[in-house]
Amino acid sequence: MNIVVCVKNVPFTREADLTVDATGRGICTDNLVYVTNEWDDYATETAVRIKEERGGTVTAVTLGCEEDEEVLRRCLAMGADAAVRVDPGDLEPDASATAALLAAAVRTLPHDLVLTGVQSDDFNHGVVGALLAERLELPHVAVVNGLQIEDDAALVTVELEGGQDEVARVPLPALLSIQTGINEPRYVSIMGIRRASRIEITVLPASGLGLTAADLEPALITEEIYVPPEAEGAAMLQGDATTVAAEILRLIGEKVGL
Of the candidate spans 10-18, 126-134, 153-161, 170-178, the one that interacts with other proteins by CB under 8 A turns out to be 10-18
Nearer to other proteins, 54 or 194 (CB): 194
d(CA 87, CA 124): 22
- Sheet containing 140-149: give its strands across: 165-171, 153-159, 140-149, 174-178, 113-117, 2-7, 57-63, 82-87, 202-205
How far apart are CB 19 and other proteins at their closest, in Å? 14
Q: Please, what is the minimum distance in Å from the beta carbon of residue 50 to other proteins? A: 14
Q: Select from 27, 35, 153, 211 the one that contacts other proteins (CB under 8 A).
A: 35
Nearer to other proteins, 33 or 241 (CB): 33
> How far apart are the C-alpha atoms of 74 and 220, rounded to whole Å?
30
Nearest to 1 by CA among 133, 114, 167: 114
Distance in angstroms (rounded) separating the CA atoms of residues 100 and 224: 24
Write each residue from 155 to 184 as x if it is in contact with other proteins (CB under 8 A), else as -, in one continuous string.
Answer: -----------------------------x
Based on CB atoms, which residue is closest to other proteins, 74 or 135?
Answer: 74
Binders in 185-214 for other proteins, by CB under 8 A:
186-194
Distance between CA 24 and CA 26 in Å, rounded?
6
Give yes or no for a contact between 178 and 116, defined as CB atoms under 8 angstroms apart: yes
User: CA torsion sign, 77 to 80 to 81 to 84?
Assistant: negative
Instruction: Specify the residue, 187 or 226, whose C-beta has the smaller distance to other proteins.
Output: 187
Q: From the CB of 49, what's the least distance to other proteins, in Å?
A: 9
Min dist CB 128 to other proteins, Å, is: 24
Minimum CB–partner distance for residue 194 and other proteins (Å): 6
Size of the site for other proteins (CB under 8 A): 17
CA angle 9–12–16, rounded 5-degree value? 150
* Site for other proteins contains 30 (CB under 8 A): no
User: Toward other proteins, which CB reaches closer, 91 or 193?
Assistant: 193
What one-letter code names the amino acid at 208?
Answer: G
Q: Report which of 111, 110, 113, 37 is spatially closest to residue 75, judged by C-alpha positions.
A: 37
- Exactly one of 78, 104, 113, 115 binds other proteins (CB under 8 A); that residue is 78
Binding residues vs other proteins (CB under 8 A): 12, 14-16, 33, 35, 78, 184, 186-194
